[in-house]
Amino acid sequence: MREFDAYFLMEEKDVIEYAREKLSLFQDDSSLHCKEIGDGNLNYVFRVWEEDGSASVIIKQAGHTARISDEFKLSTNRIRIESSVLMLHHKLAPGLVPDVILYDDVMNCCVMEDLSSHQILRTALLDKVKFPLFVDHVTTFMVNTLLLTSDVVMDHKEKKERMKNYINPELCEITEDLVYSEPFNDYKVRNDLSSLNKAWIEENIYGDPKLRLEAAKLKFSFMTNAQALVHGDLHTGSFFVTKDSTKVIDPEFAFYGPMGYDVGNILANFIFAWCNTDAVMEDGEEKASYLAWIEETIEGIVDQFSSKFLEAWENHATDIMAGEKAFDTWYLRTVLKDSASIAGLELIRRIIGIAKVKDITSITNENDRARAERICLTVGKTFILEADRFQSGHDFLKALKNEASLEVLKGD
């Protein structure tokens, strides 16, 4: 038996041996199987299971380069951050993240609970499945992981110690480039514009100095506002769901940043789901009902986040000045403003930048896809340029419905 005391990138057969050596989960005489099931860009995700189905586990290993390209060099520090954040989130938001069984800092892997009984939320949304408990789960997750890691609640010295642990320069740089810089510049190396929206983007995104100024301000806020431990990649591909369970995975982009980064991301990704539904479903009752559920979800995310945030503040705030009358509501207003701006950035970057979302790319009709893109771009601009006025779920939804009805490409 190997001891796995020196790092190498494992293949399926190595992972079986690793699981036997490091975990006490499997019977000695059982027959084990392993498959690499990763579908992301960065890491290798292996599922190991006992033939009779009695036990299984996920082993996620980080390489020195990205899974999709050896030219993309990245340190393995990201799997340390991911494992550590999953364990912290497990305490802060019990039941809402997978259990971590082992973090191995030699092999740079995280062994965690197998969630194969769940489905990735983005896939389920494309299949038009509803999740009535999702709003409750995601808002509890965000309030608990954000407010409880901030200076409002934590001892300030402990918080600063924790910040050190989650300094994440390489993955933050990816976000700084992909979200905050490239979409606002004619970055031909990686931006990928659809032909029907190219001229519009050149004029209204690259060519809008007011928008670019706001993007610049937001970029520097992202880099300096160490408000809370954010997940950093809270899109619909980072949730595993069933009808009654929600698990948040993949926090490798976590760092101390603005709370609105997480809230804005999930809101924007439900807008992608809305645009997909609008484009691909036949008009009728089913479509109306699915759109209505997405709209309730968008409203609920903002409104339940706000009410739970104020309640948690009341119960957990420790800083003496945090108790000042009306400081909590002022603080929440700033978080919602950031959430609007960041939702806007996410809406724009997923249309212009390199990392697209399936909700939009899978719309096969070119005109319908161009219309969906244009809705995302115009709503995104409104969120960024008028961020101050987005203070309720209704405000967010109204902007979406307004831009969707005005949309010039409609019926092309």
Which residues contact Mg ion by CB under 5 A? 250, 252
Buried b (16+ CB within 10 A) or exposed e, 87-118: ebbeebbeebbbebbebbeebbbbbbbbbeeb
Q: Can you give the C-alpha Rg of the chain in angstroms?
A: 22
The secondary structure of the chain in percent helix, strand, coil, rounded to multiples of 5, reads 55, 10, 35
- Minimum Å gap between C-beta 337 and ligand ATP is 28
32-40, 161-169, 314-322, 329-337 -> range binding ligand ATP (CB under 6 A): 32-40
Residues numbered 214-243 forming contacts with ligand ATP, rule: CB under 6 A: 237
Question: Cα(395)–Cα(303) distance, rounded to whole angstroms?
Answer: 10
Smaller CB distance to Mg ion: residue 138 or 254? 254
| Number of residues near ligand ATP (by CB under 6 A) | 20
Structure tokens at 268: 């924007």
Give yes or no for residue 171 binding ligand ATP (CB under 6 A).
no
Helices (H), 93-207: 121-126, 134-142, 156-165, 169-175, 198-201
- Minimum Å gap between C-beta 145 and ligand ATP is 17
> Is-contact 349 182, C-beta < 8 A?
yes
Give yes or no for residue 98 binding ligand ATP (CB under 6 A).
yes
Q: Shortest Cβ contact with Mg ion: which residue?
A: 250
Question: Cα(121)–Cα(126) distance, rounded to whole angstroms?
Answer: 9
The single residue among 15, 42, 107, 259 that binds ligand ATP, judged by CB under 6 A, is 42
- Minimum Å gap between C-beta 119 and Mg ion is 17
Contacts of 294 (CB under 8 A, 6+ apart): 125, 270, 273, 274, 277
Smaller CB distance to Mg ion: residue 250 or 262? 250
Smaller CB distance to Mg ion: residue 183 or 232? 232
Give yes or no for residue 41 binding ligand ATP (CB under 6 A).
yes
Q: In what order do the strands lie in the sheet with 100-104?
A: 32-36, 44-50, 56-61, 109-112, 100-104
- Minimum Å gap between C-beta 174 and ligand ATP is 10
Structure tokens at 122: 């983005």
Q: Indicate which of Mg ion, ligand ATP, none lies near residue 342 (CB less than 5 to 8 Å, by partner kind).
A: none
The single residue among 250, 278, 346, 403 that binds ligand ATP, judged by CB under 6 A, is 250
Give yes or no for residue 63 binding ligand ATP (CB under 6 A).
no
Question: Cα(78)–Cα(87) distance, rounded to whole angstroms?
Answer: 14
Smaller CB distance to ligand ATP: residue 48 or 263? 48
- Minimum Å gap between C-beta 56 and ligand ATP is 9
- Minimum Å gap between C-beta 45 and ligand ATP is 4
Query: Which candidate, 108, 224, 90, places its Cα nearest to that of 163?
Result: 224
Region of residue 104 (phi > 0: left; psi between -120 and 50: alpha; otherwise: beta):
beta
Give yes or no for residue 249 binding ligand ATP (CB under 6 A).
yes
Residues numbered 104-163 forming contacts with ligand ATP, rule: CB under 6 A: 112-116, 120
Query: What 8-state DSSP symbol labels residue 99?
Result: P
Q: Indicate which of Mg ion, ligand ATP, none lies near residue 276 (CB less than 5 to 8 Å, by partner kind).
A: none
Question: Cα(50)–Cα(34) distance, rounded to whole angstroms?
Answer: 9
Query: Which candidate, 124, 146, 142, 122, places its Cα nearest to that of 350?
Result: 122
- Minimum Å gap between C-beta 162 and ligand ATP is 22
- Minimum Å gap between C-beta 18 and Mg ion is 21
Structure tokens at 175: 């976000």
The single residue among 11, 21, 39, 155 that binds ligand ATP, judged by CB under 6 A, is 39
Give yes or no for residue 59 binding ligand ATP (CB under 6 A).
no
35-43, 143-151, 267-275, 296-304 -> range binding ligand ATP (CB under 6 A): 35-43
Smaller CB distance to ligand ATP: residue 14 or 114? 114
Q: Indicate which of Mg ion, ligand ATP, none lies near residue 120 (CB less than 5 to 8 Å, by partner kind).
A: ligand ATP
Q: Indicate which of ligand ATP, Mg ion, none lies near residue 112 (CB less than 5 to 8 Å, by partner kind).
A: ligand ATP
Question: Cα(147)–Cα(30) distance, rounded to whole angstroms?
Answer: 45
- Minimum Å gap between C-beta 62 and ligand ATP is 8
Sign of CA dihedral 147, 398, 270, 168: negative
Give yes or no for residue 43 binding ligand ATP (CB under 6 A).
yes
Residues that bind ligand ATP (CB under 6 A): 37-43, 45, 58, 98, 112-116, 120, 237, 249-250, 252
